[in-house]
Amino acid sequence: MTTFKRLDETSSLIGKTALVRVDFNVPMDGGRVSDPTRLKAAIETVQTLRTQGAKVALLSHFGRPKGVRSAELSLAPLAKVFSGLIGSPVSFVGDCVGAQVQAAIEALPPAGIILLENTRFHAGEEANAAELADHMASLGDLFVSDAFSAAHRVHVSTVGLAERLPAYAGKSMERELAALDAALGTPRRPVLAIVGGAKVSSKIDLLLNLVEKVDALAIGGGMANTFLFARGHSVGKSLCEHDLADTARAIEGRAKAAGCDILLPQDVVVAQDFAAHAAHRTCGLDEIADHEMVLDCGPQSVAILAAAMDVAKTLVWNGPLGAFELAPFDRATVQAAQAAATRCAASDLVAVAGGGDTVAALNHAGVAEAFTHVSTAGGAFLEWMEGKVLPGVDVLKT
């Protein structure tokens, strides 16, 4: 695994200020945080720094203000919420650079916590502007990166600060990197990847990278229809990118050359209407009528996938197997997720999953906590799966 400076390598930080990049870009519902997962993820890093006497200044973006101040996108309400979660006072200052911020940090006692205002209120944040980075870096003595979800961005708060201050991976970042290394870096083999979702066009780079790294690749969701069509099957009025049939065949050719088995559905659940509890039936691949659409994998396909999990030592999962938001077309995703969770519980499988729909699907199946690691990083997780360099990670390497 690539080496990074870790917080365990620090000692006394009394009198020092740690600038900590967290991800407080949390979902809100009527002024209330509807999912505090990302806030909770920062607690261990903050507490570790506090036990060493450091002042902790938290940096985060919220929404997409594009360099313009917006009361609706202020982080101010989150100071109170985070205070309640961590059980200690958390102050707030209405900017992330400047004399006011410097004075607020200086007024903190050792182990004090302060949340700085939305970094994206400054246009220079997303441009990684040198002047903003210099001013922000002057506020602290060390930088701690604890927001893997933003690591695919070249911003001041992800890259610029790490280039100007001693930089460490936070506890959440450390766990994420260890899990990703276990999944595709130095995995236990065989490795099985599951990729679902609507469109092949959004995951071409992902598929091309995975077939070179895994032993078997299961494709589900709407994107499986494109591969089935490329193999000569009629998919009725299913979601299908007919113009990408050649691309699908090229991906299969790349997989064959790399020794990667492609697993496609062998039976499907079809309906005439895209709606919850629509009239439906299970059929073979050559029995799909022109007026029907594929909305889920069938039981035979789930059994094949479960058998592949029984052989695998490592599982990487991104995307649902069907229209999981509509019952009963969530069945294949739920059953496959439960099969993976059972293997994890027996310590026979390292299972790492990520991507927005994936997290929602695993929560829907009630098994997210049973997986080895579930990343909420979204774009950063996908870019990692595509084999791309993440600048916010690369800058932390020793």
Would residue 94 show up in a list of annotated catalytic residues for this protein?
A: no
Residue tagged active-site, from 69, 199, 237, 388: 199
In degrees rounded to 5, what are phi and psi of residue 19? -90, 115
What's the whole-model pTM score?
0.91
Note down pLDDT in tens along the chain; length 398 residues: 568 899 988 878 999 999 999 999 999 988 899 989 899 999 999 999 999 999 999 999 999 999 999 999 999 999 999 999 999 999 999 999 999 999 999 999 999 999 999 999 999 999 999 999 999 999 999 999 999 999 999 999 999 999 999 999 999 999 999 999 999 999 999 999 999 999 999 999 999 999 999 999 999 999 999 999 999 999 999 999 999 999 999 999 999 999 999 999 999 999 999 999 999 999 999 999 999 999 999 999 999 999 999 999 999 999 999 999 999 999 999 999 999 999 999 988 999 999 878 988 999 999 999 999 999 888 899 999 999 999 999 999 98
Superfamily of domain 7-172: Phosphoglycerate kinase, N-terminal domain (3.40.50.1260)
Active-site position among 53, 94, 379, 387: 379
Would you put residue 291 in left (φ > 0), alpha (ψ -120 to 50) or beta?
alpha
Rounded Cα distance between 355 and 317, Å, is 9
Which residues, at least 6 apart from 214, have a Cβ–Cβ distance to it below 8 Å? 184, 191, 192, 193, 260, 316
Place of tokens 């570790």: 48
Catalytic annotation present for 38:
yes
Catalytic pick among 5, 38, 50, 343 = 38
- Let me know if 199 is a catalytic residue: yes
Q: List, in sequence order, every residue forming a beta bridge with 371; answer none if it has no partner.
A: none
* CA–CA distance, 169 with 381 (Å, rounded to integer): 17
**Same fold flag, 7-172 and 187-385:** yes
Please indicate whether residue 356 is annotated as part of the active site: yes
* Residue in 185, 236, 356, 378 annotated catalytic: 356
Task: Give me the residue spans of the domains in the chain.
Answer: 7-172, 187-385
Q: Which of 92, 109, 98 is nearest to 138 (CA)?
A: 98
Matching CATH number, 187-385, of 3.40.50.1260, 3.10.129.10, 3.40.50.10090, 2.60.40.420: 3.40.50.1260
